[in-house]
A and B are shown apart, each in its own frame.
Chain A
């Protein structure tokens, strides 16, 4: 009984440390350029899907869910291996597909954003790995 309690506590410590260490292990760059708390929802058509490292990029002609003009957005995703491990595939999206994304936009106002969640027309949702964070809006 006592042993089990100890191992549960050890596991809790391990998980907590794991979560805290995520931000410090991202070697390529920090995500500081993106809004830390603001998230927006964009819907539109894929104009390019670049399956590259260190980052995968989606380019979409999209409009915000709150309205406004359609703009060409650059959406930053994680690396190919992180996305593969999160359930993506190199051919998951193609030019012309209609998608919805929940993103954190750049703080400087340029039309680029960090992906939090991608929603395909059939409703399936894809995350962008632990370092990028998850969607806080729907």
Chain B
């Protein structure tokens, strides 16, 4: 009779200790790390794109994106496409784009935040909603990494993340090969690494690195920045009727007038 009492008391004590430990652990790794809420691209992009409110403490703008370090013959093909598109644009014949068919940007394009984005921090997950095309990314925290060969091809790929100090490090694989950010081809072995970190209360930096040994001679890296937009509510954006279509003979974008 007395022994079970002792066991019971021990169990109760152990449970209490366990609860206290998990509370302490939860306090040390809070769910909300301060990136929750709405964000717009920084530097600000003019009327209609964002708040128009400059930050209290401006920071230097990131460098423009470099040319993708493509292997040959892809680099020559990429440069030829850029030149052809520029020439068509100069002639007033906009080059065709996937947007004509209401196809979303996918990764990493959606993270350039042409339209505002919302970040939601919940236990074990960070969700990013890009207003344009209502694109959604789910970043699973401290989840096992996904091998590219096991990743179903998607526009936004498959993302896992971990907090390294004040930096959220996100790995993304499984981006569809038809998703061409800046007309740049890639393989199913492409890996996108993002390092997101607050530079001050209002500005967040995202250092992006693209690795793709099949297409790139070295990692393609650049930085994007975002500015907090308190109170902004993301709007609905369903691409229901793009009146632009590809001219069947001349291969440029035309507007359906009637």
Contact surface of A with B, Cβ cutoff 8 Å: 7, 10-11, 13-15, 17-19, 21-22, 25-34, 36, 50, 52-55, 57, 74, 76, 78-86, 106-108, 110-112, 127-131
Contacts of A33 in B (CB 8 A): 92-94, 253-255
Which one of A31, A55, A74, A127 contacts B47 once the chains associate, using CB atoms below 8 Å? A127
Contacts of B95 in A (CB 8 A): 30
Given A22-B49, A25-B49, A32-B91; 16 other pairs, CB 8 A cutoff:
A14-B44, A14-B54, A18-B44, A21-B45, A25-B41, A25-B45, A25-B112, A29-B253, A32-B89, A32-B93, A74-B255, A78-B48, A80-B235, A81-B131, A81-B237, A129-B48
Q: In the complex the two chains form, what is the Cα distance from A112 to B258 in whole Å?
A: 9
Q: In the complex the two chains form, what is the Cα distance from A81 to B239 in whole Å?
A: 12
Listed residue (A19, A33, A84, A127) with the most chain B CB atoms within 10 angstroms of its CB: A33
Contacts of B237 in A (CB 8 A): 53, 79-81
Beta-carbon contact of A14 and B43 below 8 Å: yes
Contacts of A79 in B (CB 8 A): 115, 132, 237
Q: In the complex the two chains form, what is the Cα distance from A74 to B95 in whole Å?
A: 21
Nearest A residue to B116 via CB reads: A81
Beta-carbon contact of A130 and B46 below 8 Å: yes
Q: In the complex the two chains form, what is the Cα distance from A7 to B241 in whole Å?
A: 44
Beta-carbon contact of A52 and B241 below 8 Å: yes
Which one of A15, A26, A52 contacts B114 once the chains associate, using CB atoms below 8 Å? A26
Beta-carbon contact of B99 and A27 below 8 Å: yes
Contacts of B115 in A (CB 8 A): 79, 81-82
Nearest A residue to B89 via CB reads: A32
Tally of B interface residues using CB under 8 Å: 50
Beta-carbon contact of A111 and B43 below 8 Å: no
**Quick check: which of B57-65, B73-81, B210-218 contacts chain A, the rest being far away?**
B57-65
Q: In the complex the two chains form, what is the Cα distance from A115 to B212 in whole Å?
A: 42
Q: Mark each residue of chain B from 219 to 248: 1 if its CB lies under 8 Å from any CB of chain A, else 0.
A: 000000000000000011111111110000
Q: In the complex the two chains form, what is the Cα distance from A32 to B32 in whole Å?
A: 44
Q: In the complex the two chains form, what is the Cα distance from A40 to B112 in whole Å?
A: 34
Which one of A15, A31, A53, A54 contacts B43 once the chains associate, using CB atoms below 8 Å? A15
A72 to chain B, nearest CB (A): 8
Q: In the complex the two chains form, what is the Cα distance from A22 to B99 in whole Å?
A: 17
Beta-carbon contact of B50 and A85 below 8 Å: yes
Contacts of B254 in A (CB 8 A): 33
> Is B257 an interface residue, CB under 8 A from the partner?
yes
Contacts of A25 in B (CB 8 A): 41, 45, 49, 112, 114
Contacts of A34 in B (CB 8 A): 92
Nearest B residue to A31 via CB reads: B94
B47 to chain A, nearest CB (A): 5
Beta-carbon contact of B45 and A13 below 8 Å: no
A22 to chain B, nearest CB (A): 5
22 CB contacts below 8 A, A to B, read A11-B58, A14-B54, A15-B43, A21-B45, A26-B114, A27-B97, A27-B132, A29-B244, A30-B95, A31-B94, A32-B89, A33-B93, A33-B255, A34-B92, A36-B92, A52-B241, A79-B132, A107-B92, A128-B48, A131-B46, A131-B48, A131-B49
Contacts of B61 in A (CB 8 A): 13-14, 17-18
